[in-house]
């Protein structure tokens, strides 16, 4: 893999972010609203429940982590959509860039945009509601890594879907985090859900992160093995997503869809 | 040695054969016109040479690099401009050229962009978004992008379609000069027969995905009993069987 074509994708995102406020605001506004909404919610819950239990690291921390995962996923898809919206596939895929370099460019763009969102969220949550990431200890890094890898994997799957079904399939991408959140144990322990849902939930890497977070802030111990399973699942999904994207791309080249993308399907 | 070598190229979509056993080669410094009515297989052929459409059969080699097995090396030596593939309108001319220069691994990006902006009379548009340029200016930006990597093979799909006659002539002159100086090989599609006669060294008339006629655009009409290239084109489009030997 060459670094220059990967940097080109990142540079393009930088140019677009710099060009106007709309793209920058999209990185900040929703996550800021979430932090403020859930920040006040946690303050209220702290005031009406028994003293001694702090909802801030449990709920607000979870919201922050989930929003980070969402931004990672959208970071990949937004960089991809730039080529969809500007009908740029012929120019990009007719160049010497390889599909792995293209994916690496999307991922690199997402690293930068999601890191920016994370900093904003953290600043708001810390300044306004006293959330401290330090309360998660050294496990914070693996927590973020698992969410990052799974976010990238889902972002790539979403891109594959849009590549396969055309620009009108874009709507499919936006609700993915909302659809997953009830099963990912973001706001409540997995044990709250029915047994069959619990089984389903355990194939989702974020479950291991949020269960681990709750264990830490309630004074329990986090199982390293459990987090390792979450990490392994995330890596598995990431590799699978890359295979899926490559296959969808190859099929699009075989059928001619890349060259006639606005047609949405070649039948 | 040929720059582009296409052998037995075939593209089938289910029951439709878009390109049927197409073979040709282009030499350094040669401009080859790919002509034919709509649906003859011109753009399909260009898309296959560009690597965005997989052939059903046959082989494409660019400077001896097989496109199927050595895609990157083959495409590093290739570039293209097409009227239906404008550069993103939300980036400036400079940003677009820089982005594509990086994709094509251009060494001295700033120097190359400066030279191309000068060459295609785009200096004053450097920091303007491509989306606000006129179609003629956008075409010139696309052509500048197509020259970024100093390609050995240039694919031009109706490059002057949206240009006024004066600008089109300027563009043709520029492309001819580059082709001759750098010994670039050009595959050019156009429906403007005047342009084809003025620019192309050789033409391939496609009909139903096959080469029906091949030759010098200035002598080919007379060889087939027609007075002009346009008349020959119309015959190819309407009565291809009358020309098959």
d(CA A94, CA A87): 13
Residues of chain A contacting residue B76, judged by C-beta atoms under 8 Å apart: 96
Residue B203's SS3 state is: strand
**Is B103 near chain A, with CB under 8 Å?**
yes
Chain B nearest-CA residue for A94:
B50
- Of A46-50, A77-81, A89-93, the poorest mean pLDDT is in A46-50
Contact yes or no for B81/B159 (Cβ under 8 A): yes
Closest approach of B88 to chain A, Cα-based (Å): 5
CB contact under 8 A, B91 and A259: no
B226 backbone dihedrals φ, ψ, rounded to 5°: -115, 155
Residues of chain B contacting residue A266, judged by C-beta atoms under 8 Å apart: 13
**Is A262 near chain B, with CB under 8 Å?**
no
Q: Is the pLDDT of residue A264 over 70?
A: no
Mean pLDDT (chain A, rounded): 90
How is residue B218 annotated by DSSP? Answer: T
Closest approach of B126 to chain A, Cα-based (Å): 14
Instruction: For strands B210-215 and B202-207, give the pairing.
Output: antiparallel
The pLDDT value given to residue B237 = 78
Residue B9's SS3 state is: strand
Pair of tokens at residue A126: 């810390």
Ranges in chain B annotated CATH 3.40.50.300: 4-77+154-243
Residue B90: which of A16, A90, A250 has the nearest Cβ?
A16
The pLDDT value given to residue B226 = 86
The pLDDT value given to residue B241 = 63
The pLDDT value given to residue A262 = 61
Selected residues 19-48 of chain A with any CB under 8 Å from a CB in chain B: 19
ipTM of the complex: 0.90
Residue A95: which of B89, B98, B100 has the nearest Cβ?
B100
Q: What are B30-63's pLDDT values in tens digits?
A: 999 999 888 889 999 999 999 999 999 999 999 9
The pLDDT value given to residue B135 = 85
B91 backbone dihedrals φ, ψ, rounded to 5°: -115, 155
Residues of chain A contacting residue B84, judged by C-beta atoms under 8 Å apart: 90
> Which one of A19, A95, A163 would you mutate to disrupt binding with B, by most B Cβ within 10 Å of its Cβ?
A95
Residues of chain A contacting residue B50, judged by C-beta atoms under 8 Å apart: 90, 94
Chain A nearest-CA residue for B148:
A95
DSSP string, A59-83: IIHHHHHHHHHHHHHHHHHHHHHHH
Rounded to an integer, the average pLDDT of A59-69 is 93
- Of A13-27, A69-83, A130-144, the poorest mean pLDDT is in A130-144
Residues of chain B with pLDDT under 50: none
Residues of chain B contacting residue A3, judged by C-beta atoms under 8 Å apart: none
CA angle B121, B31, A5 (to 5 degrees): 60
Residue A239's SS3 state is: helix
Domain B4-77+154-243 superfamily per CATH: P-loop containing nucleotide triphosphate hydrolases (3.40.50.300)
Q: What are A28-56's pLDDT values in tens digits?
A: 998 999 999 999 999 898 888 877 778 88
Instruction: For strands B153-157 and B185-189, give the pairing.
Output: parallel
CB contact under 8 A, A5 and B72: no
Chain A nearest-CA residue for B89:
A86
CB contact under 8 A, B52 and A94: yes
Q: What are A168-199's pLDDT values in tens digits?
A: 888 889 999 999 999 999 999 999 999 999 99
Selected residues 227-256 of chain A with any CB under 8 Å from a CB in chain B: 250, 253-256
Residues of chain B contacting residue A5, judged by C-beta atoms under 8 Å apart: 102-103, 105
């Amino acid at each position: 893999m060459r670094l220059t074509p990967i940097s080109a994708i990142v540079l393009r995102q930088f140019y677009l972010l710099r060009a106007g406020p709309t793209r920058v605001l999209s990185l900040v506004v929703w996550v800021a609203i979430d932090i403020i909404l859930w920040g006040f919610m946690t303050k209220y819950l702290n005031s009406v429940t028994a003293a001694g239990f702090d909802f801030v690291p449990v709920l607000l921390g979870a919201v922050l982590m989930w929003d980070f995962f969402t931004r990672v996923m959208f970071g990949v898809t937004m960089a991809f959509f730039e080529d969809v919206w500007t009908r740029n596939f012929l120019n990009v895929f007719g160049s010497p860039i390889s599909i792995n370099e293209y994916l690496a460019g999307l991922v690199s763009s997402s690293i930068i945009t999601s890191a920016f969102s994370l900093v904003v969220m953290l600043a708001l949550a810390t300044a306004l509601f006293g959330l401290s990431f330090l309360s998660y200890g050294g496990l914070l890094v693996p927590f973020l890594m698992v969410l990052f890898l799974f976010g990238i994997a889902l972002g790539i799957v979403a891109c594959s879907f849009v590549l396969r079904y055309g620009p009108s399939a874009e709507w499919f991408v936006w609700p993915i985090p909302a659809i997953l959140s009830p099963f990912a144990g973001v706001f409540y322990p997995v044990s709250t859900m029915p047994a069959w849902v619990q089984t389903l939930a355990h194939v989702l890497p974020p479950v291991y992160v949020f269960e681990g977070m709750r264990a830490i802030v309630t004074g329990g111990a986090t199982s390293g093995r459990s987090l390792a399973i979450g990490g392994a699942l995330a890596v598995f999904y990431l590799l699978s997503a890359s295979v899926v994207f490559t296959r969808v791309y190859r099929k699009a080249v075989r059928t001619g869809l890349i060259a006639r993308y606005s047609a949405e399907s070649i039948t | 040695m040929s720059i582009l070598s296409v052998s037995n190229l075939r593209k089938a979509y289910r029951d439709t054969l878009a390109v049927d056993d197409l073979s040709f080669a282009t030499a350094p410094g040669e401009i080859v016109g790919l002509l034919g009515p709509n649906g003859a297989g011109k753009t399909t052929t260009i898309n296959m040479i560009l690597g965005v459409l997989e052939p059903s059969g046959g082989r494409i080699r660019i400077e001896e690099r097989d496109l199927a097995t050595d895609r990157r090396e083959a495409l590093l030596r290739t570039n293209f401009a097409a009227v239906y593939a404008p550069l993103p309108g939300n980036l400036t001319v400079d940003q677009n050229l820089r982005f594509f220069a990086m994709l094509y691994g251009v060494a001295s990006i700033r120097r190359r962009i400066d030279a191309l902006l000068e060459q295609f009379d785009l200096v004053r548009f450097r920091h303007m978004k491509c989306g606000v340029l006129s179609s003629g200016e956008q075409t010139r930006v696309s052509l500048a992008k197509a020259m970024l990597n100093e390609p050995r093979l240039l694919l031009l799909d109706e490059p002057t379609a949206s240009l006024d006659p004066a600008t089109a002539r300027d563009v043709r002159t520029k492309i001819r000069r580059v082709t001759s100086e750098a010994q670039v090989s050009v595959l050019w599609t156009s429906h403007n027969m005047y342009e084809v006669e003025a620019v192309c060294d050789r033409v391939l008339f496609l009909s139903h995905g096959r080469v029906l006629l091949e030759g010098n655009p200035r002598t080919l009409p007379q060889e087939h009993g027609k007075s002009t290239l346009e008349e020959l084109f119309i015959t190819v489009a309407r009565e291809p069987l009358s020309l098959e030997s």
